[in-house]
Amino acid sequence: MYAEVIVDIAHSDVDKVFDYKITEDKITLGSRVEIPFGNRLAEGFVIRTKSDSSLPSDKVKSIIRPLDEFPAITENHLKLAAQIRDEFHIPFALALRLFIPAELRGGRVKERKVSWASLAEDISVSEMLSSLRKGSSAQEEIIEYLSHEGKVRRAELTEKFGNSAVKSLQSKGFLIVTEETSERVPYRELEAHANEVVLTSEQDEALKGIQNTEKKVSLLFGVTGSGKTEVYMRLISGVLKEGKTAIMLVPEIALTPQMLSRLRARFGSNVSILHSGLSAGERYDEWLRLRRGEAKIAIGARSAVFAPLDDLGLIIIDEEHDGSYEAETAPRYKTIDIALKLSELYGAKIVLGSATPSIDTYRRAIDGEYYLAKLKNRVNGKTLPEFIVTDMRKEVRNGNESIFSSDLKEELKNCLDAGNQAILFLNRRGYSSQVICRDCGFVPKCLNCDVSLNYHRDTDTLKCHYCNAQYKMIRACTECGSVNLSYSGIGTQKITYDLQKLFPRARILRMDNDTTHNKEGHFKILREFSEKKADILVGTQMVAKGHDFPLVTLVGILDADMSLYFSDYRSGERTFQLITQVAGRSGRADRGGKVVLQTYNPQNEVLRYALAYDYEGFFERENALRRSTGFPPYSLILRIMVESEDDGAAMEGLKSVYTSVKEIYENNKENFLFFNKMRSPLKRIKNKYRYQVLMRLVGDYDRIKDEIYERSLAEKTAKILVYIEENPSNLS
Burial of 419 (0-12, 13-18, 19+ CB in 10 A): exposed
205 binds ligand ADP (CB under 6 A): no
> Which residue from 85, 228, 349, 463 is in contact with ligand ADP, where contact means CB under 6 A?
228
580 binds ligand ADP (CB under 6 A): no
Site string for ligand ADP, 362-391 (x = CB under 6 A): -----------------xx-----------
Q: What is the DSSP string of 237-293?
A: HHHHHTT-EEEEE-S-GGG-HHHHHHHHHHHGGGEEEE-TTS-HHHHHHHHHHHHTT
230 binds ligand ADP (CB under 6 A): yes
Q: Are strands 508-511 and 485-486 parallel, antiparallel or unpaired?
A: unpaired
**Considering CB distances under 5 to 8 angstroms, the limit depending on partner class, which of ligand ADP, Zn ion, none binds residue 440?**
Zn ion
Of 289 and 321, nearer to ligand ADP (C-beta) is 321
227 binds ligand ADP (CB under 6 A): yes
Least distance CB 351 / ligand ADP (angstroms): 13
Of 395 and 652, nearer to Zn ion (C-beta) is 395
Any bridge partners for residue 62, and if so which?
21
Site string for ligand ADP, 178-197 (x = CB under 6 A): -------------------x
For residues 585 and 425, give the distance between their C-alpha atoms in angstroms, rounded to a whole number.
11
> Which residue from 76, 229, 421, 635 is in contact with ligand ADP, where contact means CB under 6 A?
229
> Which of 470, 459, 451 lies closest to 566 in space, CA to CA?
451
Of 269 and 448, nearer to Zn ion (C-beta) is 448
Of 300 and 546, nearer to ligand ADP (C-beta) is 546
What long-range pairs does 704-710 form, CB within 8 A, spacing at least 24? 704/664, 704/668, 704/671, 705/636, 705/638, 707/664, 708/638, 708/640, 708/661, 708/664, 709/88, 709/89, 710/89
> Which residue from 224, 575, 599, 727 is in contact with ligand ADP, where contact means CB under 6 A?
224
By CB under 6 A, the residues from 509 to 548 that bind ligand ADP are 546, 548
> Which of 55, 36, 47 lies closest to 78 in space, CA to CA?
47
E strand residue ranges, 92-244: 112-119, 152-153, 175-182, 217-222
**Considering CB distances under 5 to 8 angstroms, the limit depending on partner class, which of Zn ion, ligand ADP, none binds residue 125?**
none
Helix, strand, coil fractions of the chain, as percent rounded to 5: 35, 25, 40
9 binds ligand ADP (CB under 6 A): no
By CB under 6 A, the residues from 342 to 361 that bind ligand ADP are none
| 475 DSSP assignment | S
Of 356 and 567, nearer to ligand ADP (C-beta) is 356
328: left (phi over 0), alpha (psi -120 to 50) or beta: alpha
> Which residue from 31, 74, 203, 601 is in contact with ligand ADP, where contact means CB under 6 A?
203
Site string for Zn ion, 453-472 (x = CB under 5 A): -----------x-xx-x---
Stretch that binds ligand ADP, among 83-91, 111-119, 227-235, 532-540 (CB under 6 A): 227-235
Least distance CB 265 / ligand ADP (angstroms): 10
Q: For the beta carbon of residue 235, count every other beta carbon within 10 angstroms.
A: 23
For residues 403 and 499, give the distance between their C-alpha atoms in angstroms, rounded to a whole number.
9
Burial of 306 (0-12, 13-18, 19+ CB in 10 A): buried
Least distance CB 397 / ligand ADP (angstroms): 38
Least distance CB 686 / ligand ADP (angstroms): 38
By CB under 5 A, the residues from 418 to 437 that bind Zn ion are 437
For residues 187 and 278, give the distance between their C-alpha atoms in angstroms, rounded to a whole number.
9
Interacting residues toward Zn ion by CB under 5 A: 437, 439-440, 442, 446, 448-449, 464, 466-467, 469, 477, 479-480, 482
Interacting residues toward ligand ADP by CB under 6 A: 197-200, 203, 222, 224-230, 379-380, 546, 548
